[in-house]
Structure formats: C-alpha cells, structure tokens
Structure 1
Amino acid sequence: MNFVFFSPHFPENGADFCRGLKKAGATLLGIGDAHYDALPAVLKQSLDEYYRISDMEEYEQTFRAIGHFIHKWGRIDRFESLNEHWLELEAGIRTDFNIFGTKLDYVQNLKRKSRMRAFFRKSGVDIIPQRKCSDRAGALTFIRRVGYPVVVKPDSGSGASMTYKISNQRELNDFLASKPADVAFVMEQFIDGLVVTYDGLANRDGEVVLASTTHYDQSVMDVVNTDSHMSYVCMPTIDPRIEDAGRKILKAFDVRERFFHIELFQTRRDKRIIALEVNMRPPGAWITDAINYSYDVDVYQLWADMVVKDAAAERAKGKYFTAYASRKDHIRYRHDHQAVLAAHGDVIIRHQPIEKIFSKAMGNFAYQMRSKNLADLREAVRYIHAEAPAESAIVHADKLPQDAQP
C-alpha cells in the first residue's frame, strides 16, 4: 500500500500513526511544511519519502506533490491527515486522483452541522432543535419556538470555537452585531447536559473493531468562553445507551475504514442521549492515548493494521479509568506541580505543556491519570484544579517556591 500522510508532523501524535503504518508494511510518503531536519526521529524512520511544501493551504502545491509520488512510486492507495481541518483538501485530492475514501460529493455531510441532521434523523437517535441563523428575523422565530437560552455555533467548525450561549435579547443583539459576516452559524436549543463520546475504529466492512466512551466534566463551550480548565474520564465500559446511539449513527453515515469520534449529549435530568455531531477522525485532547491506557492497546497500530492489512483483532475490553485534568496559566492554583506529583504521582502517567494552538480548550498544561478506582482519579482532579485563596500573592501558583505554597 502506498500511503500519503498529509501533515505527519502536526499534531505530534501523527508520528505515532506513521510508526504504525510503517510497521504494518505500508510505503509511507509524507507531505508537510516543516523542514525535514525538524521532523522527530521516529517520523524520519517511518517515512520512505518526504515532500516539503511552503503553504499547506495552497491546493496546487499538494496536487503537484501527489503527482511526484505517483511518478516515482505508482498508484496512491490512501491519502489521510486524520485532522478535521484538512477534510476538504483530502476529499479534493481523493476525487482528483480517484483515491479510496471520502470524496468531494460527500465531505460536507461530515463538516456541516446542518447537514449532519439528516443522518441523525435516519439513525433514529434524538436530535436537538436547530435552524440556520442567517438573520435576526430567523433567530427570533426560532427563539419563540424553543425559548431562551439557545446556543449558536459555526455550521462548520470544531473545538467550541465561536460557540456561545445566548440567554436574553441583549446577548442576541450583541451576537448579531459582532458575528463575522463570512461565517455561517446555526442556532440550537440549549440542552442541560454534558458531552459523552463514542470513539473508536470501524473497519472496511463497517464493523466496530474498537470502541470507547469519554465523559466530560464541563461544557467545552464554557471552558473556551471563560478560559477555564477542564477534565474528562475515559471509561472502561460503555453505557449501552451510548453504544446503541453510536452504532446507529455509524450505520446512518456508512462509516468504513475510519476512526470515529461521535459527540452526544447526556441530559442531567433523565440521562437521555441526544446526537450532537460526528467527527470522522481520531478524538483530540489526548483521548487516543486515554483509550490506550484504559484498554491496554496501541490504537495507533490497531488503526494502521486495519487500514493496511484489513486486520480484525478481537475487540478489546476496558481495564482502567483514565482521567485528564488541565491547567490554565492565568489561574492561581493552590498546589504547584511538585506538590501534585507528590500527592498523586501513583496515578499520574503523563504530564506536559499543551501546544498553544490547542490551549484554549485543552489548557496550557495537563495531567493524564489511570486507575481502577474512579474515586482516586476524582480526588486527583480536585487537587489539581484547587485554586489558591483570593488573598494569596498575585503570582501564578506554579511559579512560587515549593516552600511558599499555601
């Protein structure tokens, strides 16, 4: 298999996917804007050839790179980035070169929230009342139907960017006055609930070969808009209602040979499951590694073996809870990094800064923790997120000397 990986250097786990592809036996060809010398060693060892372009947003440069690869290596069998930002570019290249996978005639169904709804209806999973928000009259008509509060978000977008809760007429006026004219928005009824996910791999026949679920502790919209920290837990077992909804949605979208990341609302009052959106890519925010830790698998290799060899491993069973807790630089925390490690080092398996482009949602620094006891992880998250008293010195808690911590 000749596999072209677009942007293998970013995000950083692209190198893990490339490692898996090489081990599975693919001829691996990379396209990116980083200089070859700047690539991590594991990525250099995986790539059979790397083609540098100056602007990854310029389609013609990628088109020429594919032409070069075909001339040298023969037919290209797969073209992927595993990144939502490049969905349309991927679909264009696949269409122009007749490469397996999603083409231009289908990709908007995976990008636009308004287009996803037809597939949610087909699946039979509950959906949120929604309409396109193009003008004041349409917005007011919708609000008269569902009432305040409502949520507005870009029709095409991810990560809660430009997503807002609107609770009254003043906030609606502010949104309409400030929203970018070139961005299409949708308006949805506000749901009092939290996001749960159905994540995993579907093989070439559309069969689920790996599945997991992650439960968020906060609204990602609120995390982004209030610049707060966040936490989630990847669970070792999946609520049957989440599994049922996820499988119905996968069938409606006819997902094959792909990662899937399906976001659902679970209502606080009655735990009802409601379809939110689909992302045909690996989940972000370290969730791929959370799946590895919870299920004792190598999801990067499982995906590569599925793609290259159409391999079908026995579906893994969960063994651990895996939690994520982030910190924001502007928040003063009660316990510094060394105190966190001293108190909860027995469950912490990873800690490091977050790439700036992802920090609004994921935090500036994060901890990942694993345990068979969920209570231990909940206590660690509370400890990590505990904020310093208001009267403490006005410096970031992590900058204080160890002996000066409250």
Structure 2
Amino acid sequence: MNFVFFSPHFPTTGADFCDRLKKAGATVLGIGDAPYDGLDPKLSAALSEYYRIADMENYDLTLRAMGHFIHKWGRIDRFESLNEHWLELEAGIRTDFNIYGTKLDFVKNLKKKSRMRAFFRKSGVDTIPQRKCSDRAGALTFIRRVGYPVVVKPDSGSGASNTFKISNAKELDAFFRDRPEDVTFVMEQFIDGLVVTYDGLANRDGEVVLAASTRYDHSVMDVVNKDRHLSYVCYPKIDPAIEAAGRKILKAFDVRERFFHLELFQARDGRAIALEVNMRPPGAWMTDAINFAYDVDVYAEWAEMVINDRNRGPFTGKYFTAYASRKKHIHYRHDHQAVLAALGGKIVRHNAIEDVFSRAMGNYAYQLRSKDLAEVREAIDFIHAEEA
C-alpha cells in the first residue's frame, strides 16, 4: 500500500504513526514544509520519500507533489494527516485522485458544528440547543428560549479558540462589538458539566475495534480564556452511557477505517449529550494516555487496521492515566524536582509543550498512572498546588 502522510512532522505524533505504517508494510511518502534535515530521525527512517513544499495551504503545490508520487510510485492508496486543520484539503485530494476515505461531498458535515447536529439527531443521542449567531436580535431570541448563560464558538474548527461563555446582556454586547468579522459563530445553551471523550478506532466495516474514554477535570474554554492549567484522566473502563452514545454517533456518521475522537457532555443525571465529532486521534497526549491505560500501542493498532485490515484486540484497561499541566505564570508550591521526587514512581512522561499548544495544554506537563484513582487525584493536586 502506498500511503501519503501530509504534514508528518507536525504534530510530533506523526513520527510514531509513520513509523508504525512502515512496520505494517506500507510505503510511506511524506509531504510537508519542514526541511528534510530537520525531521525527527524516526520519521525520516520511516519515509520512503519526502516532498517539501513551500506553502502547505497552497492546494496546487500539494497536487504537484501527488503527481510526482504517482509518477514514481504508482497508485496512491491512502492520503491522511490525522489533523483537523487539513480535513478539507485531505478530502479534496481524495476526491481529485479517487482515494479511499472521506470526500469533499461529506467533509462539511465534519467541519461545521451546525451540520453535525443533523447526524446527532439521526443517532438519537441528546444534543445541546444551538443556533447560528449572526446578529444580536437572533441571539436574544435564542437566549429568551434557553436563558443565560450561553456559549458562543466558531462553527468550523476544533479546540477552545474564540469560545466564550456569555452570562448577561453586557457580555453579549461586548461579544458582538469585539468578535472577529471573518468567523461564523454558533450559540449554544450552557451545560453545567464537564467533557467526556469517546476515542478509538473503527475498522473498514465500521466496527469499533479499540475504544477508551477520558474525563476532563476543567472546562477547556476556561483553561484557554483564564490561562489556567489543565488536567484529565483516561479511565480503564468506559461509562456505559458514554459507550452507547459514542457507538450510536459513529453509526450515524458511518465512520470507517478512522481514528475517532468524540466529545460529549455528561449531565449530572448521567445522560450523555453529543457535543462534537472529530475524525482524528485525540490531542494533548491522549493517544499515549490510551497506551498507558491499556498497555497497548495505538499507533501500531491504527496502522495494522489501515494497512492489513487487522484487529489484535480485545483490549482491556488496567490503569487510570492522568495528564496535569502547568503554566509559567502560576507560582506552584512544589517545584519540578519536588514533583519528580514525590511522584517519580507514577510519572510515565514529562516534558515541555510546544508553544503553539501551550494556551490549552500548558507550558509543561506530567503524565502519570496508577491502578488507584485516589492516588492519581492526589498526584494531580500535588502538581497543581499553588503558593498561598
């Protein structure tokens, strides 16, 4: 199988995905804007050829790279980046070259939150009341129906950038005064709860062959807007309500041969409420959280699924795996050395975060695991304890 990986150098997990693709038997071809000499050695060893382009947003340059690969290597079987930013470009390339996977006629259903809702309704999973937020009059009509507070967010894209909680008329006026003119927003009823994910792999027949679930301890919107630290826990077992809702959503979207990352709210009464669907691996070290929680290599399982249509499960969770980040501007009670000394036996990874992700993910992060949830919670509290 000839597999073109777009932007294999960023984010850094691309090196692991490409490495496992090669080990699964694929010919891996890369397109990116980074100099070849600057690639991770693991990545350069995995690539049979790397085609550098000056501007990855320039579709014609990508078409030219694909033409070169086809001339030299023959038919291209897969084109992926596993990155939300390139979802539309991927679909365009697959459409133009008739490559397996999501095509342009469906990609807007994955890009726009307003269009996801039709599939959530089809799935039968509860959804959050929502409407397009184009003017103040329409916003007030919606608010009269659901009440304050509400949340406004970009209709297209992922993450918490340009996402705000609005609690009164003054904040509503400020939003319409200061909002970016080139961004289309949607408004949603505010749900008092935290995000729970349903993540994993769906094979070529649409069967879930690996699944895991993570619970955020904080609202990512608040983390970004208030510049705070973040923590989450990947659980060894999935809540049955989340599992049932996740599988219904995957069926409604007809997800096949994909890594998936679904975000849901879990209400205080236990109900799962659909929030977002992303056809990519989860971010913020969450692929490795699954690895550590389940003692598995999700990069290899994804590659075996795509290249050889093989499933080596079932997989059983064994640990609670946590992520706890820190921000440079916050003064913590325990310094880095104290954290390592106190929690060294539980820490499985720690390092600085790339600046482009630091607003949401923190400047430095620790990943730790234990079979005891209380131990994980105590460790997170130790890392996040601030000076009085």
Question: Do they superpose with TM above 0.5?
Answer: yes
Provide the C-alpha distance between the structure 2 equivalents of 1:219 and 1:142, rounded to a whole number of angstroms. Answer: 23
In the other structure, the counterpart of 1:232 is: 232
Provide the C-alpha distance between the structure 1 equivalents of 2:114 and 2:11, rounded to a whole number of angstroms. Answer: 28
In the other structure, the counterpart of 2:295 is: 296
User: What amino acid sits opposite 2:114 in the alignment?
Assistant: S
1:111-167 CA-to-partner distances (Å, cap 9, x unmatched) read 100000000000000000000000111101000100000000000021111000000
In the other structure, the counterpart of 1:349 is: 348
Provide the C-alpha distance between the structure 1 equivalents of 2:158 and 2:353, rounded to a whole number of angstroms. Answer: 18
Unaligned runs of 5+ in 1: 390-406
Provide the C-alpha distance between the structure 2 equivalents of 1:18 and 1:24, rounded to a whole number of angstroms. Answer: 10
The correspondence of residues 282-321 of structure 1 with structure 2, limited to 5 A, is: 282-321=281-320
- RMSD of the TM alignment (CA)? 0.5
1:334-370 CA-to-partner distances (Å, cap 9, x unmatched) read 1100000111111001000001111111000000001
In the other structure, the counterpart of 1:394 is: none
In the other structure, the counterpart of 1:382 is: 381
- SS of residue matched to 1:316: coil
User: What amino acid sits opposite 1:129 in the alignment?
Assistant: P
User: How far is the alpha carbon of 1:94 from its aligned partner?
Assistant: 0.6
Provide the C-alpha distance between the structure 1 equivalents of 2:146 and 2:362, rounded to a whole number of angstroms. Answer: 33
In the other structure, the counterpart of 1:360 is: 359
User: How far is the alpha carbon of 1:377 from its aligned partner?
Assistant: 0.9
User: How far is the alpha carbon of 1:35 from its aligned partner?
Assistant: 0.6
1:111 aligns with 2:102: no
Provide the C-alpha distance between the structure 1 equivalents of 2:279 and 2:373, rounded to a whole number of angstroms. Answer: 29
- SS of residue matched to 1:234: strand
User: How far is the alpha carbon of 1:315 from its aligned partner?
Assistant: 1.9
Provide the C-alpha distance between the structure 2 equivalents of 1:363 and 1:159, rounded to a whole number of angstroms. Answer: 14
Provide the C-alpha distance between the structure 1 equivalents of 2:27 and 2:343, rounded to a whole number of angstroms. Answer: 43
In the other structure, the counterpart of 2:29 is: 29
- SS of residue matched to 2:131: strand
Provide the C-alpha distance between the structure 2 equivalents of 1:44 and 1:163, rounded to a whole number of angstroms. Answer: 37
User: How far is the alpha carbon of 1:44 from its aligned partner?
Assistant: 1.0
- SS of residue matched to 2:270: coil
In the other structure, the counterpart of 2:159 is: 159
User: How far is the alpha carbon of 1:27 from its aligned partner?
Assistant: 0.6
In the other structure, the counterpart of 2:203 is: 203
- SS of residue matched to 2:105: coil
- SS of residue matched to 2:28: strand
In the other structure, the counterpart of 1:322 is: 321
User: How far is the alpha carbon of 1:216 from its aligned partner?
Assistant: 0.4
User: What amino acid sits opposite 1:257 in the alignment?
Assistant: E
Provide the C-alpha distance between the structure 1 equivalents of 2:160 and 2:307, rounded to a whole number of angstroms. Answer: 33
User: What amino acid sits opposite 1:128 in the alignment?
Assistant: I
User: Is this contact kept in 1: 2:241–2:270, CA < 8 A?
Assistant: no
The correspondence of residues 228-307 of structure 1 with structure 2, limited to 5 A, is: 228-267=228-267, 269-307=268-306
User: How far is the alpha carbon of 1:313 from its aligned partner?
Assistant: 1.7
Provide the C-alpha distance between the structure 1 equivalents of 2:314 and 2:124, rounded to a whole number of angstroms. Answer: 25
User: How far is the alpha carbon of 1:272 from its aligned partner?
Assistant: 1.7
Provide the C-alpha distance between the structure 2 equivalents of 1:226 and 1:314, rounded to a whole number of angstroms. Answer: 41
User: What amino acid sits opposite 1:273 in the alignment?
Assistant: A
The correspondence of residues 72-83 of structure 1 with structure 2, limited to 5 A, is: 72-83=72-83
Provide the C-alpha distance between the structure 1 equivalents of 2:158 and 2:174, rounded to a whole number of angstroms. Answer: 22
The correspondence of residues 334-345 of structure 1 with structure 2, limited to 5 A, is: 334-345=333-344
Provide the C-alpha distance between the structure 2 equivalents of 1:212 and 1:71, rounded to a whole number of angstroms. Answer: 40
User: How far is the alpha carbon of 1:181 from its aligned partner?
Assistant: 1.2
User: How far is the alpha carbon of 1:314 from its aligned partner?
Assistant: 2.0
Provide the C-alpha distance between the structure 2 equivalents of 1:239 and 1:333, rounded to a whole number of angstroms. Answer: 33
In the other structure, the counterpart of 1:222 is: 222
Provide the C-alpha distance between the structure 1 equivalents of 2:157 and 2:53, rounded to a whole number of angstroms. Answer: 25
Residue identity (%): 77
In the other structure, the counterpart of 2:100 is: 100
How many residue pairs were aligned? 388
User: Is this contact kept in 1: 2:305–2:311, CA < 8 A?
Assistant: yes
User: How far is the alpha carbon of 1:375 from its aligned partner?
Assistant: 0.8
In the other structure, the counterpart of 1:2 is: 2
Provide the C-alpha distance between the structure 1 equivalents of 2:149 and 2:133, rounded to a whole number of angstroms. Answer: 15
Provide the C-alpha distance between the structure 1 equivalents of 2:175 and 2:140, rounded to a whole number of angstroms. Answer: 13
Unaligned runs of 5+ in 2: none
User: How far is the alpha carbon of 1:180 from its aligned partner?
Assistant: 1.1
Provide the C-alpha distance between the structure 1 equivalents of 2:70 and 2:277, rounded to a whole number of angstroms. Answer: 32
